[in-house]
Amino acid sequence: MARLARAAMWWAPIVIGCAGAASTLHAASCPLQPAHVPYGERSFLGYTCREAQCAAHKAGFAWADRQGLSDAAACVDAEDTAFVEGCRAFAVLAVTAEQSGFEWARENEIADECFCGGAGPRFAAGCEAYVGGFAH
């Protein structure tokens, strides 16, 4: 459990960049806000985000994905509530990380791949699939 608490502390520098290693975009080229103003607060698979890109939620989701968690009880030791919520989202959803990324992009009307990074490569692939095929 202490590992989860440590994991929550190092997520910030990792999730700032754009999606995918093959992407030619860089964090500096990503807009701080989306091109359009959403009609409501951003959410992350049932949890309200505290910032525009849902970075802490994505970090918790990515950590849980890397650990292969299926029990939400394993997510309780992190100090960051949003990180824990992202971890729980991965643990309790009965869908793949790709499906989760697609659903997150759909729910939040994401139109720029730059916002897909931070929750792991499989989540980003689902998000990018939505942006590339359905957001336009």
DSSP the chain: -HHHHHHHHS-HHHHSSPS-TT----GGGS-SS-SS--SS--EETTEE-SSTT-HHHHHHHHHHHHHT---GGGGTT-S-HHHHHHHHHHHH-SS-HHHHHHHHHHHTT---GGGGTTS-HHHHHHHHHHHHHT--
Say which range, 25-29, 91-95, 130-134, has the weakest mean pLDDT: 25-29
What is the percent of the chain where pLDDT is above 90?
A: 57
Decide if pLDDT at 69 tops 50: yes
Q: Is residue 28 part of a domain?
A: no
Decide if pLDDT at 20 tops 70: no
Q: Is residue 113 part of a domain?
A: yes
The pLDDT confidence band at residue 136, using thresholds 50, 70 and 90, is low
Q: Is residue 97 part of a domain?
A: yes
C-alpha torsion sign, points 134, 89, 8, 37: positive
Count up the domains in the chain and report the number. Answer: 1
Q: Is residue 35 part of a domain?
A: no
Range of the domain at 71: 2-14+42-133
CB neighbour list of residue 129: distance below 8 Å, 6 or more residues apart = 98, 101, 102
Q: Is residue 37 part of a domain?
A: no
Q: Is residue 27 part of a domain?
A: no
Q: Is residue 85 part of a domain?
A: yes
Structure confidence by residue, pLDDT tens digits, 91-110: 998 789 999 999 999 999 99
Q: Is residue 24 part of a domain?
A: no
